[in-house]
Structure 1
């Protein structure tokens, strides 16, 4: 796909009759957990008889994104629009907002669903031409701007923007109780339709992963950014090796800080203990490491933790964002973010744990996730949010309409 705006169209996505909704999903990067969430929703909504389209960035994701989007085409009766989008605020955002508005008008969208800070802004700012019915505006933050540290200038700025945009939001579909709580605390706003829609995973993802004979001791999967706590993980690895443990770490992913992190590992004397590999299917990656470590400083409800827990992968994670919601009663096992000593102690516990005891712990977490994070439930809760917002709008319009004039008595 070219860097300029382009549209890919296919025929009707469903043979189940006339679609109930014409849904346009809007987001920036076709990578990571947010993209997986949108892909899952598209398949669920298409199978339910709705007509779906999407708008996303044309400059990120590379060949993996092209392949994933091509695989989605049979479910996208309303096609794909790709247009260049910047991660941070930029004058080019005006062009994107106009592209979103134009596409929503062309397909007569009934639902305009924005994902992430950028997608949510585009979907809610877009103004359709006069005479075109305004769609329901839905917003799923996926963490985004809510993850900035409270009190900082950037946090205050973005919460101010969210406060303004909330007036153009018909339904909030928060992916975690954590983000919903941050919204209530820092944004507030008038009453809206609100749903907590946890990310969901498929039944096939609960098959236990089998580790390779040459698996690394530790595994990190995710974006290579310092905000993910990777420097803390590298410091932890130094401490483990200083105790005489020849621990090895595999880092799977890509990101803006990759070169700096590779250099940091070299300066710490870890070149022979740390390996870097590009993004790959998660089950392939999980088989390459015996303990997955999530050292994040901020998160929402990460798919990578859900997927690893479902596959009975031993896990060490920080206590941030919505991760305690995934761990449930096992949340007491989580560690303080930014603390290499706490992270080391948690890793040592799993390294030294009896094999049967560790397997039982992993199975218990997998069973808990299966009971609470269903993909089917996720899809149903999103559609329920749309329906409630439509009902709320219809009721408001009815209440705002002047009463009908009565015929005078004859």
Structure 2
């Protein structure tokens, strides 16, 4: 058997697909006999974060380490790499893997000069979501480019992310590796809907997720019996209030429920059609999860969603297009005659290309390759 590795995963806030990715990876590595520790942001370490990490603790033999990592650059960014560097020495870390813009920045800086420590980075969108024209974007992109020589590998979760990185930052050459996110076998258990809602959105309530376009599309849709469809929004975020106000302004507040943050499968159990109206994405777990749960899925053609849809990519709709989104949602409500065949092709594609075993196994192999 290969010598067990001691791995330190570095991320900022334990939320969303990035955290799901780290959890799945940590569980897999632990099951294979490796030892894992996690660094998270102490500034956003609330009760909900603590609950999530508590569930992960059995897979973390090297523990959870809260360190202040602000979302935007500040004085703490000078201190954090030194704190992580101490952890690397204390736990004799073999691999340090940074996730997201800030996690990747601190992980690689912390391991500078440590020849026996492998340095990896997965963007998860991260700096790629910052426009090059903005001050923050210019800073992040410059830092990304400067850290490529100090990275052993950069793991992209989609071909789209790899292409965007080459165009916006630089070509990492042979250091760049594409490994798709993956789902566990449990995720492929069907989730029947109780029909309480027609549509469900699962994600962070912020502009980037296209919630405004979803709300504006809803009034254009009518059910067979002439009634109006209902929409369930699972998630929370910085723009929740403005979306609540918009639903009132559009006169659809009785059709919409803001249910707050909870597991995606709770939403899948209450609605038959999942809508992902994002303006930007990397490789969103929620699209794969909805397909695996046997939901009908309406999604925009952004980021790596086309890779998830594979043979059904032509079914995706343009982003920021209320009319196109409403048309696709109406077609699902009407029950397109070829819908079952398309869903079966989607399910087969996701099951073959996006498994947890494949994702984590491929990443572990990158860790082990010298």
TM-based fold match above 0.5: yes
SS in structure 2 at match of 1:293: strand
Aligned to 1:113: 97
* Superposition TM-score, scaled by structure 2 size: 0.94
Superposition RMSD in Å: 2.2
Instruction: Indicate which of 336, 343, 361 corresponds to 1:362.
Output: 343
SS in structure 2 at match of 1:329: helix
Does the Cα contact within 8 Å between 1:24 and 1:112 map onto a contact in 2?
Answer: yes
Which whole-Å CA distance do the structure 2 matches of 1:153 and 1:57 have between them? 23
Instruction: Indicate which of 333, 348, 351 corresponds to 2:333.
Output: 351
* Higher deviation after alignment, 202-211 or 322-331: 202-211
Show the 5 A alignment for 1:277-316: 277-316=259-298
Q: Which runs of 4+ in 1 moved over 4 A?
A: 149-154, 241-245
Aligned to 2:204: 223
- 1:47 maps to 2:31: yes
Instruction: Indicate which of 139, 146, 149 corresponds to 1:164.
Output: 146
| Cα distance, 1:359 vs structure 2 | 3.2
Length, aligned pairs only = 369
Instruction: Indicate which of 163, 168, 188 corresponds to 1:181.
Output: 163
Which whole-Å CA distance do the structure 2 matches of 1:59 and 1:339 have between them? 37
Which whole-Å CA distance do the structure 2 matches of 1:79 and 1:61 have between them? 15
Which whole-Å CA distance do the structure 2 matches of 1:224 and 1:61 have between them? 20
- 1:327 maps to 2:315: no
- 1:252 maps to 2:237: no
Aligned to 2:218: 237
| Cα distance, 1:304 vs structure 2 | 0.6
* Higher deviation after alignment, 236-245 or 286-295: 236-245
Which whole-Å CA distance do the structure 2 matches of 1:169 and 1:98 have between them? 18
Aligned to 1:63: 47
| Cα distance, 1:97 vs structure 2 | 1.7
Q: 1:326 to 1:150 in 2, by over 3 A?
A: farther
* Higher deviation after alignment, 342-351 or 189-198: 189-198
- 1:261 maps to 2:243: yes
Which whole-Å CA distance do the structure 1 matches of 2:288 and 2:51 have between them? 24
Does the Cα contact within 8 Å between 1:311 and 1:366 map onto a contact in 2?
Answer: no
Q: Which has the larger radius of gyration?
A: 1
1:181-222: CA deviation from partner (whole Å, max 9, x where unpaired): 111222225634222110010112112210014x21111100
Unpaired runs of at least 5, structure 2: none
* Higher deviation after alignment, 146-155 or 73-82: 146-155
* Higher deviation after alignment, 23-32 or 189-198: 189-198
- 1:137 maps to 2:119: yes
Unpaired runs of at least 5, structure 1: 1-16, 391-410
Aligned to 2:88: 104
* Higher deviation after alignment, 324-333 or 156-165: 156-165
Aligned to 1:12: none
Aligned to 2:67: 83
Which whole-Å CA distance do the structure 2 matches of 1:271 and 1:189 have between them? 47
1:156-202: CA deviation from partner (whole Å, max 9, x where unpaired): 44322211121211101110000001112222256342221100101
Does the Cα contact within 8 Å between 1:29 and 1:60 map onto a contact in 2?
Answer: yes
* Superposition TM-score, scaled by structure 1 size: 0.85
Aligned to 2:15: 31
Does the Cα contact within 8 Å between 1:225 and 1:258 map onto a contact in 2?
Answer: yes
Does the Cα contact within 8 Å between 1:20 and 1:49 map onto a contact in 2?
Answer: yes
